[in-house]
Amino acid sequence: MKKIIFLISIVIFSNNAFGYTFKLNEISKFKSPWGSSFINDQELLITEKSGSIKLINLTSNEIINIDHNLNILEDGQGGLLDILFYQNKVLVSYSENRGNGKSSTSIALGKFDKKKITFKNIFRAEPPIRSGYHFGSRLAIKDNYIFASAGERGEGMIAQDPTKHPGSIIRIHLDGSIPKDNPKFEGKESWLPEIYQIGIRNPQGLTLSPYDGKIYLSNHGAKGGDWFGESKKGENYGWKVLGWGGTNYSGTKIGPKWKPGFTKAIYYWVPSIATSAITIYKGNEFEKWNGHALITSLKDQSLRKLNFKNLDNVKEDIIFKSKIGRIRDIQIHPGTGKIYFLSQNALWLMEKN
C-alpha cells in the first residue's frame, strides 16, 4: 500500500547555534517511530514500534508499507526497534514473542524488497523474560561484524552475568556466526560466545565512528545517570554494581559513579537526560561538527553535541531543546550531511537556514 504525505509546513528557526543558523522542518507523521536507515540518497526505511516497516521517498514524500514475517510482541518499551540497510539486506532488532508473555531482544536478517521482507533470526537474547522494560536496542556494522545492544530488561544484576545475554553488547558475523576472537575465546570462558561487553542497563544508542573506526554507545541510566562511551572488548560498564551517578527510582542508592576495574564512560549526565540515539557527525551541512558526537534525548527533548577529541576536556553544547518532542533516532543524510530525526510521532529535517 502506498500513500503520499505532503511536507508539513512547520518550520522552527534558531538563532546562530554554534556557528550556524538552522531550521527544523516536519516532513511526515508516523506512529511511535523507532529506527531508521538510508538505503540511498532519496529513500529512508523507518520502523514503528507497533510493527510496521515503512519506506519514505524524501523527494516525493511517498510512503510504502513493507510487509514482513516478524513475530513481534509489543509490550511496554518493546516492539519493532532498530533497522539497518546494508548491501541490499535489512537487519532489524525487535522484541520477539517467545510465548507465555515472554520476549527477547532478537535480531533478524532479510533481503530487501519493497513489497515484503522475509526475515530469519540470526540472534536471540537468552533467556526470554516477561518484562516490557529495557530492550536496548541499536545495530551497527563494522567490517564483517554486527554490533548490537541488548538491554537488561529491568533485571538489574543480570547485566553482571555473562552466561546470560541481557545487559550486554553483542558481536556476531553478518550471517549470525560467532567471531573466533570474541571474549569467550580469549580468556572469558564463562561468557556466552556472542557477548562482547557486559554491565549495561538500557543502551539505546550505538554507532560506528567514520573517523577512528570505533563503536560508541549511549546508555539510558536509572534516576540520575546516563552516559556516552566506547564499546571495549571483554570489559564491564558496571551495572548494577555502579549507578553512574544515579539512584533507584525509589530514591535508594545503587553504587558509585565509577570505580577501578570497570569501564569508565567518556561523558556522564547527572541528572539524567534520557539518552536515546547517537551518531558521530560527518558531512558538509554542518562541517564544523565533523568528528563530534550528536546525542539525542527523550526526557528533555534535546540534541546535544560532544567534542570528545580531548578525553580530559570533553565539551558539550546543547543545540536545541524542547522543539520537536521526545527524540528517538538520528540519521545523517549520506550525500548532503543534513540531519534527520524521529520524534515520538514524526520525521524531521534539520538544515542550515
Nearest CA to 80 out of 68, 88, 89 is that of 68
Is the pLDDT higher at 6 or at 139? 139
Nearest CA to 346 out of 81, 4, 88, 7 is that of 7
Looking at residue 337, the DSSP 8-state letter turns out to be -
> 3-class SS at 158?
helix
For residue 220, report the phi and psi dihedrals to the nearest 5 degrees. -85, 110
- What the block records as the C-alpha cell of 119 is 526475515
Nearest CA to 154 out of 252, 248, 280 is that of 248
pLDDT single digits (tens) 206-237: 999 999 999 999 999 988 889 999 999 999 99
Q: Quote the pLDDT of residue 182.
A: 98
Whose grid coordinates read 552466561?
Answer: 163
**Distances 316 to 268, 269, 301 between C-alpha atoms, Å:** 11, 11, 16
Q: Quote the pLDDT of residue 13.
A: 52
For residue 343, report the phi and psi dihedrals to the nearest 5 degrees. -90, -170
pTM for the complete prediction? 0.95
Domains of the chain: 2-352 (2.120.10.30)
pLDDT single digits (tens) 299-332: 999 999 999 999 999 999 999 999 999 999 999 9
Asked whether residue 173 carries a pLDDT value surpassing 60, the answer given is yes
Point out which residues pair with 342 in neighbouring strands.
Answer: 329, 347
User: Among positive and negative, which fits the CA dihedral 239, 244, 247, 253?
Assistant: positive
pLDDT single digits (tens) 100-137: 999 999 999 999 999 999 999 999 999 999 999 999 89
pLDDT single digits (tens) 57-79: 999 999 999 999 999 999 999 99
Q: Cα(187)–Cα(181) distance, rounded to whole angstroms? A: 10
pLDDT-based confidence at 9, cuts 50/70/90? very low
Q: Quote the pLDDT of residue 16.
A: 58
Q: Cα(48)–Cα(343) distance, rounded to whole angstroms? A: 11
What's the rounded mean pLDDT across residues 278-289? 97
Is the pLDDT higher at 157 or at 4? 157
Go through 59-76 and write b for each residue having 16 or more CB atoms within 10 A of its CB, e for each that does not. Answer: eebebbebebebbbbbbe
What's the rounded mean pLDDT across residues 3-31? 71
Q: Quote the pLDDT of residue 251.
A: 86
Asked whether residue 11 carries a pLDDT value surpassing 70, the answer given is no
Q: Cα(198)–Cα(185) distance, rounded to whole angstroms? A: 16
Query: Average pLDDT of the chain?
Result: 94
pLDDT-based confidence at 250, cuts 50/70/90? confident
Is the peptide bond prior to 162 cis by the omega test (within 30 degrees of 0)? no
Asked whether residue 176 carries a pLDDT value surpassing 50, the answer given is yes
Residue 199 gets the label, from left (phi > 0), alpha (psi -120 to 50) or beta, of: left
